[in-house]
Amino acid sequence: MKSGDRSVHDLMHIYDRMLEHFGPRGWWPGETVFEVCVGAILTQSVSWKNVTKAIDNLKKAGLLELEAMYRASDEEIEQCIIPTMYYRMKTKKLKAFVNHVMEKYNGDLDKMFSKDTDSLRTELLGIYGIGPETADSIILYAAEKPVFVVDAYTRRIFSRLGIFEENVTYDQMQKYFMSRISPEAPLYNEYHALVTGIGNRFCSNKRPKCRECPLSETCLYPQGRD
């Protein structure tokens, strides 16, 4: 963590600038809670555009329902999610998740999500293929519980803003936000969605569009000061 700490006011100012630029982003896109969970697993290391293709394929195949995916063969799922890369590994992750929900909760996601946040997070992290970011995405966007999701975009953007060192850990970033911003699921939802928007459209790794970025006035990145 860098020595120049930012107050709640500063973090909310960043939020307001992003929101003014993008407006509400309506994230996470998904028609059902299960679809949100599937999207959170599939989006690991791949663009959302490709996840959308895979989800559409699953819908057409009738596999975007928990019990249907539970009963489907690995091969049936693999054929649908080829656009997401590593589709065999991701099929194993999807199967591990649906097997867990079917066998422990009889397919009742609401029952699983009724657990307190810490217990739910621990349980999700115990399922094959679900790491902190995926677990937190499921908790925030599907279970609608207030946990702040951070990712590579968060690290890049907020290190360029002078808040984090580039080697900051996931837990350090998450604790930073959650100790300074009111624990409200809708706010955490929108904040992360806006950060993703900045990362996608402006704050790229190699060729950031600093002059166009709505956060350029507070950015310490050299290109942002040209």
Domains in the chain with CATH codes: 8-26+148-225 (1.10.1670.10), 33-142 (1.10.340.30)
Supply the pTM of this predicted model: 0.93
- The answer for residues whose C-beta is within 8 angstroms of residue 50's C-beta and 6 or more apart is 83, 84, 85
Burial of 116 (0-12, 13-18, 19+ CB in 10 A): exposed
Find, among 127, 113, 115, 109, the residue nearest to 66 by Cα. Answer: 109
Q: Digits of tens for pLDDT over the chain (226 positions)?
A: 554 455 666 999 999 999 999 999 988 888 999 999 999 999 998 989 999 999 999 999 999 999 999 999 999 999 999 999 999 999 999 999 999 999 999 999 999 999 999 999 999 999 999 999 999 999 999 999 999 999 999 999 999 999 999 899 999 999 999 999 999 999 999 999 999 999 999 999 889 999 999 999 989 887 644 4
| 36: Cα within 13 Å, side-chain hemisphere | 19
C-alpha span between 23 and 130 (Å, rounded): 30
